[in-house]
């Protein structure tokens, strides 16, 4: 399909020579063109500019964007969108006073999801996950990272990643997959964690690599889950299979996971609700992207990632949903951007940069996604008529998306 978007009130994130990521004060700069047009051909951004310079082209479907904003579609770099069932009972338990850790200790949490997933057929798992993917596409997400981690057996972890690969094949969304066998310790290994780590290193990783099911490797580095030493063992083993780390760190405690991630050249370190000055120093000078997951903080009523502190320290920041059944049963990136502004004190410019160009970096797709650039994939959001882009995070309860284009196709 060939598309010509015209009379765009404001075209956001226009970059002729885009950086891989933006950091510090640069995050507050959001280049844009008023009264603009965009030409899309063969799923790629062919050209764009001001309406006064619009070329005379034929054979393109016109889309009038009067009063509307056009911007790159969201890049959600941290999700667990492939899962079975739900955990609404734990939601009620938390309302009644139980903590996330207490629920996990009595057999809930990740282990609960793993049991459901192991009992769910691959066909049914795909069906449930596809419904969620279709929903987030309509909400403006065109690139998504999908983790395993709710299987906790070799077969169930592989099943999750096969479903993620099938989603990539059947939908226009760009998908990156991450192996997260070290998400929790299965009940049967509760008193023999080392044996479970042996299973991850000696059986799961080789199988995942052999079947080319994952782009990245992840570990939940946290008290009660996997220690820094255990995390490093898994990351070191993953190096044999050229799996780059993207790791869960500092959700509840700062135990040195960020420094470990940087040591192993992690593409991203995600969560960071608890952050020390030492953690910030570890990130400085690295190529590792800090990723905040504000819906998780909202849902669990825990601290928000100190995004303001990270940016003011000259660091980059990406935003993602953490879409999962236990701590973030939502994949709405629009809510993520709003929450980052409302609760983390990011400016609209910083939040949009974090959810587009920096989100793309955190997925390893900076060359093709995250900005309005000639030659990049034509995955765009067209808003409804709005007064400004600041209105998007301001009106946090409204769906302000008119339409979504993914790889040149109207969703």
Over 79-148, what HEC string results? ECCCCCCCCHHHHHHHHCCCCHHHHHHCCCCHHHHHHHHHCCCHHHHHHHHHHHHHHHHHCCEEEEEEEC
pLDDT in tens, 180-193: 999 999 989 989 99
pLDDT of residue 205: 98
Q: Are the CB atoms for 5 and 40 separated by under 8 Å?
A: yes
- Find the mean pLDDT for residues 24-30: 98
| For the chain, percent of residues with pLDDT exceeding 70 | 100
> pTM of the entire structure?
0.96
Confidence of residue 115 (pLDDT cuts 50, 70, 90): confident
Q: Are the CB atoms for 295 and 336 separated by under 8 Å?
A: yes
- Find the mean pLDDT for residues 223-245: 97
Higher pLDDT, 58 or 15: 15
- Find the mean pLDDT for residues 301-330: 96
Confidence of residue 272 (pLDDT cuts 50, 70, 90): very high
Q: Are the CB atoms for 48 and 372 separated by under 8 Å?
A: yes
- Find the mean pLDDT for residues 98-117: 81
pLDDT of residue 217: 98
- Find the mean pLDDT for residues 32-41: 98
Q: C-alpha dihedral over 45, 50, 56, 57, to 10 degrees?
A: 20
Location of structure tokens 């909202």: 298
Q: Indicate the average pLDDT of the chain.
A: 96
Confidence of residue 106 (pLDDT cuts 50, 70, 90): confident
CA 161 – CA 299 distance, rounded (Å): 26
- Find the mean pLDDT for residues 137-166: 97
| For the chain, percent of residues with pLDDT exceeding 90 | 90
Smallest CA-to-CA distance from 333 within 325, 347, 323, 348 is with 323
- Find the mean pLDDT for residues 19-27: 98
Confidence of residue 104 (pLDDT cuts 50, 70, 90): confident
- Find the mean pLDDT for residues 25-41: 98
Q: For residue 335, what are the β-bridge partners?
A: none
pLDDT of residue 197: 98
- Find the mean pLDDT for residues 156-183: 98
Specify the range with the lowest mean pLDDT, choosing from 43-52, 81-90, 138-147, 222-231. 81-90
Confidence of residue 255 (pLDDT cuts 50, 70, 90): very high
pLDDT of residue 93: 86
Confidence of residue 110 (pLDDT cuts 50, 70, 90): confident
Confidence of residue 94 (pLDDT cuts 50, 70, 90): confident
pLDDT of residue 12: 98
DSSP letters, 364-411, are T-TTTSSSB-TTSB--EEEEEE-S-TTHHHHSTTS--EEEEEETTEE-
- Find the mean pLDDT for residues 334-359: 98
Whole-number Cα distances in Å, 256 to 272, 278, 281, 373? 11, 9, 12, 38
pLDDT in tens, 60-78: 999 999 999 999 999 999 9
- 35 torsion bin: left (phi>0), alpha (psi -120 to 50), beta (else): left
- Find the mean pLDDT for residues 234-243: 97
Would the pLDDT of 105 be above 80? Answer: no
pLDDT of residue 304: 98
């Amino acid at each position: 399909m060939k598309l010509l978007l015209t009379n765009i009130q404001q075209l956001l994130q226009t970059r002729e020579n885009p950086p891989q990521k933006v950091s510090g004060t640069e995050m507050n700069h959001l280049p844009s063109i008023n009264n603009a047009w965009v030409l899309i051909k063969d799923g790629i951004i062919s050209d764009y500019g001001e309406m006064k310079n619009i070329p005379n082209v034929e054979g393109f479907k016109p889309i009038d964007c009067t009063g509307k904003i056009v911007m790159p579609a969201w890049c959600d770099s941290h999700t667990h969108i492939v899962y079975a069932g739900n955990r609404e009972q734990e939601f009620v338990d938390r309302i009644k006073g139980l903590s996330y850790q207490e629920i996990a200790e009595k057999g809930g949490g990740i282990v609960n999801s793993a049991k459901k997933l192991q009992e769910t057929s691959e066909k049914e798992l795909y069906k449930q996950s596809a419904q969620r993917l279709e929903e987030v596409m309509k909400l403006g997400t065109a690139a998504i990272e999908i983790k395993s981690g709710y299987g906790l057996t070799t077969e169930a972890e592989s099943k999750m990643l096969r479903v993620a690969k099938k989603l990539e094949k059947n939908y226009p969304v760009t998908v990156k997959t991450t192996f997260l066998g070290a998400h929790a310790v299965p009940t049967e290994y509760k008193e023999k964690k080392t044996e479970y780590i042996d299973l991850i290193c000696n059986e799961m990783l080789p199988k995942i690599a052999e079947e080319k099911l994952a782009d990245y490797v992840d570990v939940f580095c946290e008290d009660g889950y996997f220690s820094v030493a255990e995390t490093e063992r898994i990351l070191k083993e993953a190096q044999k299979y050229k799996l780059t780390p993207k790791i869960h760190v500092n959700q509840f405690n700062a135990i040195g996971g960020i420094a470990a991630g940087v040591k192993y050249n992690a593409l991203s370190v995600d969560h960071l609700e608890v952050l020390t000055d030492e953690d910030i120093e570890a990130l400085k000078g690295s190529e590792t992207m800090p990723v905040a997951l504000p819906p998780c903080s909202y849902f669990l009523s825990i601290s928000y990632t100190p995004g303001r502190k990270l940016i003011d320290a000259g660091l980059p920041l990406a935003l993602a949903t953490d879409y999962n059944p236990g701590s973030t049963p939502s994949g709405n990136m629009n809510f993520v951007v709003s929450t980052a502004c409302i609760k983390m004190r990011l400016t609209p410019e910083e939040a949009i940069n974090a959810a587009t160009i920096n989100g793309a970096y955190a997925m390893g797709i900076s060359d093709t996604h995250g900005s309005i650039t000639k030659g990049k994939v034509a995955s765009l959001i067209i808003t409804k008529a709005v007064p400004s882009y600041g209105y998007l995070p301001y009106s946090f309860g409204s769906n302000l998306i008119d339409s979504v284009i993914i790889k040149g196709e109207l969703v």
